[in-house]
Structure 1
């Protein structure tokens, strides 16, 4: 567990959490419970996962109903979404949790291909309409490592269908280039390699912590993730 300084009253009270591909907002429940216990106003965006444009629009709808400045948090593919949606003037900072931090012209799929992991295209079942699922065994061993076998199996079998278009979208003008950012690196990640996470966070100038666990940090390490988010909320202006 990573110990961070105690948190005083935060300047930003509104936090919007964005989940990754092939899952839904319930993956944030442990983090949500910890943040709301500290009196943060927490909203979880449910992404349609049909395109990055549709997912960004879903985040913007949640941003539009916030009262005051917002901290925007993304897990995994959610990092692509917050990098685009975070240009909203009410967003004061971004937090990346085992997430993509794409630069201009980069896509999630290209970043995955740039650093080799066992999470390869042959682990996906792609349907005629472009939607895909991660094969159950691969999901449990590569995405869900660090979860109990019971939880990994449940998440694998309750996957939200995602469209391959979300992996192909090239980002323009990422919000982290203009706003402060934080990143939690999953040191045992078998989906987005830890080396890639570190490289992206250094490039973005993010404040970084490392958590010794697999890709699903919001579920496996909610204490550390919530603490980082609270620290970021205190630090942004």
Structure 2
């Protein structure tokens, strides 16, 4: 074999190695869709978004109207439909109900629940809260004639916002997105976690969705469980930890 043939063969082998490595890299899920909870909006994900985009993940943040769960599912599905390949869905709090429904889409490869409801088909967020009560209660709500509600500021600061700085807790409390009470009554039609891998981040100091309830739901689902010692608003209080779990999930799903 002359030098030219040797060089060409070596080059071909090198290209083959690079191609195989690139193919392996493309097998990882790069699209990540973030779904916020009730009474807030997608801005609660900003710190997690910044960390994941710095790693070249393509991050999309759903903005739900919170007028009904059906409307919220439709809003999330629109974002899922415009992704350019397989994806991971991440839901915080009530967002767990939404990703459990939308996650049946064939392009969704896995789900991450962050201090979230992880309902079985036929269950509702309100029913789950009643089954294992935390400190959150209906007495903390101001309900309007059209069925929408806001969480009273003192309750938001002490129950929902524990773990946030005083400044952040007050800002989130005073920038609430009014949610329709029907979202707590909606009975889930699908539970995508029964067919797809899931991760559950449990907020061990959560006063809104009791940590024991989070653990029961995640164990029932066979989720990979990660505990974070903080309150309900983990995307804001612990963005590094939350982003790390999302990276792990994106690397492990097929």
TM-score, normalised via structure 2 length: 0.89
Is 1:181 the counterpart of 2:181? The answer is no
**CA shift digits 1:138-176 (9 cap, x unpaired):** 000000000001100000000001000110000122100
Is 1:34 the counterpart of 2:43? The answer is no
Contact 2:204 2:227 in 1 (8 A): yes
**CA shift digits 1:162-212 (9 cap, x unpaired):** 000110000122100111000100000000000000000000010010000
| TM alignment of 1:135-214, pairs within 5 A | 135-214=152-231
Cα distance in 2 for partners of 1:153, 1:47 equals: 22
How many matched pairs? 230
Alpha-carbon offset, residue 104 of structure 1? 1.3
| TM alignment of 1:115-154, pairs within 5 A | 115-154=132-171
Cα distance in 2 for partners of 1:178, 1:51 equals: 25
Give 5+ residue unaligned stretches, structure 1: 1-7
Structure 1 segments of 4+ aligned residues over 4 angstroms from their partners: none
Give 5+ residue unaligned stretches, structure 2: 1-23
**CA shift digits 1:205-227 (9 cap, x unpaired):** 10010000000000000000000
Cα distance in 2 for partners of 1:230, 1:88 equals: 21
Residue number among 215, 222, 226 corresponding to 2:239 in the alignment: 222
Cα distance in 2 for partners of 1:70, 1:50 equals: 26
Q: Secondary structure at the match of 1:95?
A: strand
* Bigger radius of gyration among the two: 2
Contact 2:135 2:207 in 1 (8 A): yes
Alpha-carbon offset, residue 17 of structure 1? 0.1
Alpha-carbon offset, residue 117 of structure 1? 1.5
Q: Secondary structure at the match of 2:173?
A: helix
Moved more, 193-202 or 112-121: 112-121
Q: Secondary structure at the match of 1:87?
A: coil
Cα distance in 2 for partners of 1:63, 1:117 equals: 32
Residue number among 55, 63, 83 corresponding to 1:66 in the alignment: 83
Higher relative contact order (CA 8 A, sep 6+): 1
**CA shift digits 1:98-129 (9 cap, x unpaired):** 00000011000000111122101000000000
Contact 2:133 2:209 in 1 (8 A): no
Q: Secondary structure at the match of 1:43?
A: strand
Q: Secondary structure at the match of 2:61?
A: strand
Q: Secondary structure at the match of 2:227?
A: strand
